[in-house]
């Protein structure tokens, strides 16, 4: 004897297979395959891309997760931890500054001086000659006639003393004098060696003089 169908909806739902249930709500694809909306796949691709990008970014910019990399004071720390190397002193540039402040009116920026009044320094055998003579001239001044490149300048205007001597108005340091002489000896095509500050110091201490030199007097200094 056959059994009557159950009127209980729960029993009927339990008897249905999963495929039967899905077929009611999801359209069937080819050969009965279940078709999805495509949205879950797009999200998966997006997440995969983001994970890949994050891995590359961290590998390149994470800095091994060092505390200094993420410290807002890291730049200040680096600057204070490694002090910048001091710049080398430029004797010629410093000498040019002294020349332009005190010598340019007479000897001119070209080093050619003023014809008949101030002798040239460019190509001068005196400027490129014995540094002992030059240092004495700048320290104590120069008076009397001067012959440069075959031209005699009568010396009507006395060169002032730049050292700390009685009556001197400039009172330059040994460093200033060494620098300006180095500049003069290496500017305008001149090719004489630099003058050391220690040499100026030695001459200042050893020479007891309170008046300007003359060229004949300097020629006697060895």
The pLDDT of residue 127: 97
Residues 105 and 185 in one domain: yes
Domain membership flag for residue 5: no
Residue in 10, 13, 35, 14 with CA at minimum distance from that of residue 25:
35
Residues 115 and 67 in one domain: no
Domain membership flag for residue 86: no
Domain membership flag for residue 2: no
The pLDDT of residue 156: 84
DSSP 42-81: HHHHHHHHHHHHHHHHHHHHSGGG-TTTT-TTHHHHHHHH
Phi then psi for 37, rounded to 5 degrees? -80, -20
Contact predicate 185/194, CB 8 Å:
yes
Residues 199 and 112 in one domain: yes
Residues 62 and 102 in one domain: no
Range among 15-24, 42-51, 154-163 with highest mean pLDDT value = 154-163
Q: What percentage of the chain carries pLDDT values higher than 70?
A: 64
Residues 69 and 172 in one domain: no
Angle in degrees, 0-180, between the axes of helices 197-206 and 174-186, rounded to the nearest 10: 120
Give strand pairing partners of 144: none
Of 17 and 109, the one with more pLDDT: 109
Range with lowest mean pLDDT among 10-14, 106-110, 202-206: 10-14
Domain membership flag for residue 100: yes
What is the pLDDT averaged over residues 186-196?
A: 98
User: What are the tens digits of pLDDT across the range 138-185?
Assistant: 999 999 999 999 999 998 889 999 997 776 678 999 999 999 999 999
Residue in 138, 131, 128 with CA at minimum distance from that of residue 99:
138
Domain membership flag for residue 48: yes
Q: How far is CA 160 from CA 14, 165, 210, 220, in A?
A: 121, 11, 12, 21
Contact predicate 195/135, CB 8 Å:
yes
Neighbours of 173 (CB within 10 A): 15
Q: Mean pLDDT score of the chain, rounded to an integer? A: 81
Residues 130 and 214 in one domain: yes
Domain membership flag for residue 99: yes
Domain membership flag for residue 6: no
User: Domain with 135 in it: what CATH number?
Assistant: 1.10.760.10
Q: How far is CA 56 from CA 49, 51, 145, in A?
A: 11, 9, 82
CB burial string 44-80: b at 16+ within 10 A, e below: eeeeeeeeeeeeeeeeeeeeeeeeeeeeeeeeeeeee
Q: Which of left, alpha, beta for 63 (phi over 0: left; psi -120 to 50: alpha)?
A: left
The pLDDT of residue 95: 98
Instruction: Indicate the residue among 81, 104, 126 that finishes a domain.
Output: 81
Domain residues for the domain of 35 are 25-81
Domain membership flag for residue 4: no
Residues 121 and 62 in one domain: no
Distance separating alpha carbons of residues 69 and 73, to the nearest angstrom: 9
The pLDDT of residue 207: 93
Per the structure, the count of domains in the chain is 2
> Per the structure block, which two tokens stand in for 145?
């006639």
Residues 124 and 157 in one domain: yes
What is the pLDDT averaged over residues 127-145?
A: 96
């Amino acid at each position: 004897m056959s059994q009557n169908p159950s009127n209980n909806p729960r029993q009927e739902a339990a008897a249905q297979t999963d495929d039967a249930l899905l077929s009611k709500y999801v359209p069937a694809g080819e050969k009965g395959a279940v078709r999805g909306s495509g949205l879950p796949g797009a999200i998966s691709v997006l997440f995969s891309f983001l994970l890949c990008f994050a891995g590359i970014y961290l590998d390149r910019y994470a800095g091994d997760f060092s505390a200094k990399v993420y410290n807002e004071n890291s730049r200040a720390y680096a600057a204070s931890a490694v002090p910048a190397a001091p710049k080398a002193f430029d004797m010629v540039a410093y000498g040019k500054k002294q020349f332009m402040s005190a010598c340019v009116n007479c000897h001119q920026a070209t080093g050619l001086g003023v014809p008949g009044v101030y002798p040239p320094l460019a190509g001068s055998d005196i400027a490129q000659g014995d540094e002992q003579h030059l240092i004495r001239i700048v320290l104590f001044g120069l008076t009397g006639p001067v012959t440069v490149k075959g031209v005699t300048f009568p010396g009507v205007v006395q060169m002032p003393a730049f050292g700390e001597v009685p009556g001197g108005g400039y009172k330059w340091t040994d460093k200033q004098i060494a620098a300006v002489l180095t500049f003069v000896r290496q500017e305008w095509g001149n090719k004489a060696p630099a003058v050391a500050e220690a040499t100026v110091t030695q001459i200042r201490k050893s020479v007891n003089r309170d008046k300007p030199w003359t060229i004949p007097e300097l020629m006697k200094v060895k």
